[in-house]
Amino acid sequence: MSRSYTLVIDCPDRPGIVYSVSRIIFENDGNILESRQFEDRETGRFFLRVVFESGCDQAVLADAVATLGEGFDMDWKLVPTNQPVKVLILVSKFDHCLAHLLYKVRIGEIPIEIVGIASNHPAAALTATDIRDIPFHHLPVTPDTKAQQEASIKALVKDSGAELVVLARYMQILSDDLAAHLSGRCINIHHSFLPSFKGAKPYHQAHAHGVKMIGATAHYVTADLDEGPIIHQGVESVTHEDSPDDLIRKGREVENQVLGQAVAWHVAHRVIRNGRKTVVFKG
């Protein structure tokens, strides 16, 4: 029986990549269903995402891709299409993004398995969220206990098998050590349209500056605060009649949409890091 696979490739650009990938898919009883590619002429990198069906075992396909990859110096990933990704979510007391993600998962729009929710606040603080049977971990933190708390986060990631960590309005700055540990597998939602209005109360800053647009940014976490590779951004028009509370309300809606879309693209293997940027093959 045929099964659908997603193959993602990142390598130095040179002639013959698409031909060679197509050939090994054909030679392994495969049929291409979708293919997207991008050549970054500034960096000389080539990016390819292919969805295909094949009757071959995944291990056989992986061996064929590995052999091909050696000749092209490829970074590659081959996964069953729509295979659920294990996700750990970190949140503080504002839980609108968490509630939105749970809704998207429960109606089947995002193929993820939420293996746990961790917060520096108790579960009772999450007033908008129905956690149900998802494991909840209360990890309070102070400046004196930050190292121990982050060690607990690392242990949660390892023990749960989480492949992705989502900071759904987790209002603690990760240490450089934890940010490096989670590099490439941690997405944050920043409540402003980066790089403007960093730090506390961005909507109040935006109101004070009389902005006409507010927004949110989903990005991969790096040691540089709020400067990781951007996955997705969204904006909403505002006017002089909007109060700071209006901006907060509108901003939360944008945050929900932007984070939800970024997570959906990531788990569908549509996002490839490209230095300080990302290549996103939107669905």
Tell me the backbone φ, ψ of residue 144, rounded to 5 degrees: -80, -25
Quote the radius of gyration of the chain (alpha carbons, Å). Answer: 21
Let me know if 245 is a catalytic residue: no
Q: Which residues contact 230 (CB under 8 A, 6 or more apart)?
A: 194, 217, 218, 219, 277, 278
Strand partners, 219: 188, 230
The one catalytic residue in 29, 40, 57, 226 is: 226
> Which amino acid makes up residue 240?
H
Q: 180, 223 in Cβ contact below 8 A? A: yes
Q: 255, 228 in Cβ contact below 8 A? A: no
Strand-strand pairing, 45-54 and 213-220: unpaired
* 11 SS3 class: strand
Give the span between the Cα atoms of 47 and 173, in whole angstroms: 32
Strand partners, 40: 45
DSSP per-residue codes, 174-203: PPHHHHHHTTTSEEEEESSSTTSS-SS-HH
User: Which sequence positions are flagged as catalytic?
Assistant: 226
